[in-house]
Amino acid sequence: MTMKKQGFNPYLPSWEYIPDAEPYVFNGRVYIYGSHDRFNGYVYCMNDYVCWSAPVDDLTDWRYEGVIYKKTDDPLNPDGSMCLYAPDVTVGPDGRYYLYYVLDKVSVVSVAVCDTPAGRYEFYGYVHYPDGTRLGEREGDQHQFDPGVLTEGDKTYLYTGFCPRGDKSRKGPMATVLGPDMLTVVEEPVFIAPSEPYSKGSGYEGHEFFEASSIRKRGDTYYFIYSSVVFHELCYATSKHPTKDFVYGGVIVSNSDLHIDTYKPAEKPMFYGGNNHGSIVEINGQWYIFYHRHTNGTNFSRQACMEPIKFLEDGSIPQVEMTSCGPNGGPLRGYGEYPAYLACNLYCKEESLYTDWTASWMNNQFPKITQDGKDGDEEIGYIANMKDSATAGFKYFDCRGVKRVRIKARGYCSGRFEVKTSWNGPALGSIPVESSNIWKEYSADIAIPDGVHALYFTYTGSGSAHFGSFTLE
């Protein structure tokens, strides 16, 4: 009997780097529209837009749809010197698919169009006022950034904004209403939430808008999803109206698992966080939050993840944990081999809430998820820099009768990997490792209690190990 594939985080291949993912269901498939980082990239979003999709009833079966739009397709960017930042897609009143995006060095919203969800999009135009002036270029216009779009009838609601902490020139995220041509402003921008300097008494304090506008509707309620000024979290606000009365709701997910107190102290970071961007979508009756995590010790190689969420009766969304099994619909099987890049927790005794901008210290001091080869090479990811105290955590597994654990490791190291079922729990056993130039398998008799558990692997010893995979037997 062949076993059904399981769903993992990240849900795309380990060699694919798609941050800022906006998920949509079209014609029985889930489509992912995001920006496109480069492995070993030195700035954000260096590659062209690609699309991935999966059937709604199998979130393990992702298909590469290819390049849907090149950075040089925009008339403002013939030499490709500007990067394509986070996009969003909506279906216009004519049934075509419209891709909204910004280039990284200009403050205007570009639009491309396609007859199908994942075909080659063609440049269509720039969002503009009735007199032809482009939105973002009229005197007094705020910076246009990270467009989120929602079409209802002949109107498209466009949400934009970029508001760093302390910048009084930026008032908050904006909602602009476009007409049926998908380009012309019919209702001018209005602020729907405060930026940090203007948040006193608003209910947004501590979680003010930074970037990553996204909009969804559930029943008669609009959910505005955004990244806050603390970077690592995706928050939401709700309203019964698309352009006013948004009330702060809370945090949906943090890519360092901050604020979560179910398995560790609330303010203990369990992954190296950074900026965040994503949205919510209903797939086959289950709602999910899509977000990204940072790899390679930098800000510039981000991977797409997803977690199931629930709505309480009042419409609120409790914060969810980062897991290794988000798309799976439950815990992973407690036997077989699992690659180390599935780690949803990664840390060492020296804490850091954020991934470093320059990567200069991350590269040497902290464990990191990475890969061999160059960008585009289909090389399975692993964890590098497993120095003394470095810990990789995986959640969750339904364990039954596990008596032995194997690991694959390489590198200049001499020590052991301790296996635990909680980050601060006792070691159930340890697996000795030694220096090796190639991946080598090591094992030990380690009994894991029956039931649903997290698994934590902590390296103790000298040198630095690469952690490739583990096997439960």
Does the residue 1 lie in any domain? no
To the nearest whole number, what is the mean pLDDT of the chain?
96
**Amino acid identity, residue 206?**
G
279 and 151 assigned to the same domain: yes
Tokens (6 digits) for 66: 């290819």
Mean pLDDT value across residues 72-77: 98
Domain boundary residue, one of 262, 296, 328: 328
pLDDT reading at 358 higher than 80: no
Tokens (6 digits) for 76: 């403002």
Q: How many angstroms separate the CA atoms of 464 and 76, rounded?
A: 46
**Amino acid identity, residue 406?**
R
pLDDT reading at 293 higher than 60: yes
139 and 275 assigned to the same domain: yes
Strands of 164-301, DSSP E: 174-178, 185-191, 209-218, 221-228, 233-239, 247-254, 279-283, 286-294
User: Out of 224-238, 345-359, 406-420, which region has the weakest mean confidence (pLDDT)?
Assistant: 345-359
Give the neighbor-by-neighbor strand order of the sheet with 148-152: 148-152, 155-160, 174-178, 185-191
267 and 400 assigned to the same domain: no
350 and 460 assigned to the same domain: yes
Domain boundary residue, one of 283, 304, 328: 328
Does the residue 12 lie in any domain? no
pLDDT reading at 294 higher than 80: yes
Does the residue 4 lie in any domain? no
> Which residues are CB-neighbours of 360 under 8 A, at least 6 positions away?
none
The per-residue pLDDT for 357 is 67
237 and 371 assigned to the same domain: no
Q: Which of 16, 196, 211, 307 is catalytic?
A: 211
Mean pLDDT value across residues 213-217: 98
Q: Which helix (H) or strand (E) holds 308?
A: strand 302-309
Report the number of distinct structural domains present in the chain: 2
Domain boundary residue, one of 328, 344, 373: 328
Residue range 8-36, pLDDT digits in tens: 999 999 999 999 999 999 999 999 999 99
The per-residue pLDDT for 365 is 78
Mean pLDDT value across residues 389-394: 98
Other CB atoms within a 10 A radius of the CB of residue 334 amount to 19
Question: What domain range is 408 assigned to?
Answer: 333-472
Structure confidence at residue 1 as a pLDDT band (50, 70, 90): very low
The per-residue pLDDT for 363 is 57
CATH number at residue 347: 2.60.120.260
CATH number at residue 151: 2.115.10.20
Does the residue 11 lie in any domain? no
CB 423 within 8 A of CB 355: no
Residue range 362-380, pLDDT digits in tens: 556 799 999 999 999 999 9
Residue range 239-284, pLDDT digits in tens: 999 999 999 999 999 999 999 999 999 999 999 999 999 999 999 9
76 and 138 assigned to the same domain: yes
* Cα dist from 313 to 75, 236, 316, 425, whole Å: 48, 16, 7, 35
353 and 308 assigned to the same domain: no
Tokens (6 digits) for 46: 């260096």
Percentage, residues of the chain above pLDDT 90: 95
Residue range 116-155, pLDDT digits in tens: 999 999 999 999 999 999 999 999 999 999 999 999 999 9
Closest CA relative to residue 332, chosen from 448, 221, 240: 448
**Amino acid identity, residue 228?**
S
Give Cα 392 to chain centroid, integer Å.
19
127 and 32 assigned to the same domain: yes
- Catalytic, 356? Answer no
Tokens (6 digits) for 327: 């798309």
156 and 81 assigned to the same domain: yes
The per-residue pLDDT for 370 is 97
Does the residue 194 lie in any domain? yes
Structure confidence at residue 4 as a pLDDT band (50, 70, 90): confident
Mean pLDDT value across residues 172-191: 98
173-193 burial, b if ≥16 CB within 10 A, otherwise e?
Answer: bbbbbbeeebbbbeeebebbb
Q: How many angstroms separate the CA atoms of 137 and 144, rounded?
A: 9
- Catalytic, 187? Answer no
Q: Which helix (H) or strand (E) holds 362?
A: helix 362-365
Helix (H, G, I), strand (E, B) or coil at 333: strand
Q: How many angstroms separate the CA atoms of 151 and 88, rounded?
A: 12
Tokens (6 digits) for 373: 């080869």
CB 213 within 8 A of CB 222: no
Mean pLDDT value across residues 159-169: 97
* Cα dist from 61 to 6, 29, 175, 256, whole Å: 9, 11, 36, 27
291 and 340 assigned to the same domain: no
Does the residue 2 lie in any domain? no
Closest CA relative to residue 223, chosen from 133, 157, 139, 132: 157
Helices (H) and strands (E) in the chain, counts: 1, 31
365 and 321 assigned to the same domain: no
Q: How many angstroms separate the CA atoms of 180 and 153, rounded?
A: 8
Under DSSP, the state recorded for 196 is: G
356 and 309 assigned to the same domain: no
Structure confidence at residue 2 as a pLDDT band (50, 70, 90): very low
Does the residue 298 lie in any domain? yes
Does the residue 345 lie in any domain? yes
